[in-house]
Copies of this chain bind each other. A is one copy, B any other.
């Protein structure tokens, strides 16, 4: 066993470095920006929208039983609550909206989470999946890996990975992006055209950036928006509602 003892430190060092690398990633993933106060306020139930926060963030219109539901995946490192005002605004128009929290706030680790949500709401007839940035890319992956499972896809400052070609799918798609986005640039959005169906609805938000798709404050590498967060959010909600209304008989 002397050989083992002699080299044991090396094995321990490998383990230590691996643990450090994993710990570094976990800390990095978990230290994204905090949701803004407006986001936390939007989690309160009121006369128009009933909100539950377990096991997902669920926004139910109080008015009538929704026929169509939207499942949202958050952007990478973004707290799911940062999309609460947007989800609430869409629910106010009569849609079920569910924001799916992600392991380590990285939708990459659970692209199939939409399936769990859909199973929990059997009465919902039509489903749209969508998300911001990495979240949108992972809903595109879900749609690609589960053809027929959803009727629509809403991409917010996002696009499918090249391995998730949806151009031949029977899927209503809305791609919504800001012209001042420093992270999902116009060139990247344009390059995603061949991966999406020909009748995809493209919405360019003039002066919008990456961070204003959510409510978590500024983001490194982004450009400054030339429109307010409220104005950008109104356009995001409008374009997403257009997709949902199209599926809502």
Residues of A within 8 A of B (CB): 3, 6-7, 10-11, 13-14, 17-18, 20-21, 32-33, 182, 209, 211, 217-224
* A32 proximity list for chain B (CB < 8 A): 220
* A10 proximity list for chain B (CB < 8 A): 7, 10-11, 14
* A6 proximity list for chain B (CB < 8 A): 3
- CB atoms of A211 and B221 under 8 A apart: no
> Which one of A6, A209, A220 has the greatest number of beta carbons of chain B within 10 Å?
A220
- CB atoms of B14 and A21 under 8 A apart: no
The distance from the CB of A51 to the nearest CB of chain B, in whole angstroms, is 25
- CB atoms of A182 and B7 under 8 A apart: no
- CB atoms of A33 and B218 under 8 A apart: no
Chain B residue nearest to A225 in the complex (CB): B218
The distance from the CB of A17 to the nearest CB of chain B, in whole angstroms, is 4
* A223 proximity list for chain B (CB < 8 A): 217-218
The distance from the CB of A32 to the nearest CB of chain B, in whole angstroms, is 7
Chain B residue nearest to A209 in the complex (CB): B218
* A18 proximity list for chain B (CB < 8 A): 17
Chain B residue nearest to A7 in the complex (CB): B7
The distance from the CB of A70 to the nearest CB of chain B, in whole angstroms, is 27
> Which one of A3, A11, A17 has the greatest number of beta carbons of chain B within 10 Å?
A17
The distance from the CB of A247 to the nearest CB of chain B, in whole angstroms, is 35
Complex Cα spacing A164 to B188, Å? 46
In the complex where A14-B13, A21-B17, A21-B21 touch, is A221 in contact with B33 (Cβ < 8 A)?
yes
> Which one of A14, A21, A182 has the greatest number of beta carbons of chain B within 10 Å?
A14
In the complex where A10-B14, A17-B21 touch, is A182 in contact with B220 (Cβ < 8 A)?
no
Complex Cα spacing A20 to B24, Å? 13
* A218 proximity list for chain B (CB < 8 A): 209, 211, 218-220, 222-224
Q: Which one of B3, B14, B211, B220 lies within 8 Å of A3 (CB-CB)?
A: B3
Complex Cα spacing A209 to B33, Å? 15
* A33 proximity list for chain B (CB < 8 A): 220-221
